[in-house]
Amino acid sequence: MSSTAARPTTTGTLRTAAHHVLDQVTAVLAAHSVTALRVSLGLVFLAFASAKFVAGASPAEDLAVATVTELTFGLVSGPDALLLTALTETVIGLTLLTGRFVRLGLLVLAGAMVGIMSPLVLFPEQMWSDGGPTLAGQYVFKDIVLVAGALVVTAHALGARLRTDDDR
């Protein structure tokens, strides 16, 4: 029996250490990544809402007002439409940020996403120019990421949990 067969190789030791580190990172991500996503979504919604409380401060103000006006058949328009949008985004942001009433916030978010994405259908001429998406179009398209993040947070809030290959 040779002495090299009895002791692990450096490569084997490094591989074992790397797997251990990856297992630890996976455990931390599984434990905290959805919370980090929820909190970051809350901060984004609060940031967007804060600009809408001040007339002229949001680059999406005109689009938000036009969208709410269209979706409410003119019942809510102008400053009221902007205030409704700001309040909706504030409710969503606070629930996600604090972790309190998350399901309510996600329900409000689901309804808001219809409004947030509807300019793609309601105002396509404002979403595109000859060179690609306009600034307004880019503003709406980034919301696709918010929708995807919200789906992950919603799945978690409804009981889904991250699993590793070992859990299956």
Higher pLDDT pick, 24 / 107? 107
Q: How far apart are CA 30 and CA 42, in angstroms?
A: 20
Identify which of 55, 71, 54, 48 has the alpha carbon closest to the alpha carbon of residue 119: 71
* pTM for the structure as a whole: 0.82
Token couple for 73 = 């058949």
3-state DSSP call for residue 133? Answer: strand
152 burial class (0-12, 13-18, 19+ CB within 10 angstroms)? middle
pLDDT digits (tens, 9 = 90+) for 11-70: 778 888 888 888 888 788 777 899 999 999 999 999 999 999 998 999 889 999 999 999
3-state DSSP call for residue 47? Answer: helix
Q: How far apart are CA 146 and CA 37, in angstroms?
A: 10
Token couple for 5 = 């067969």
Confidence (pLDDT) at 87: 97
Segment holding 60, helix H or strand E:
none
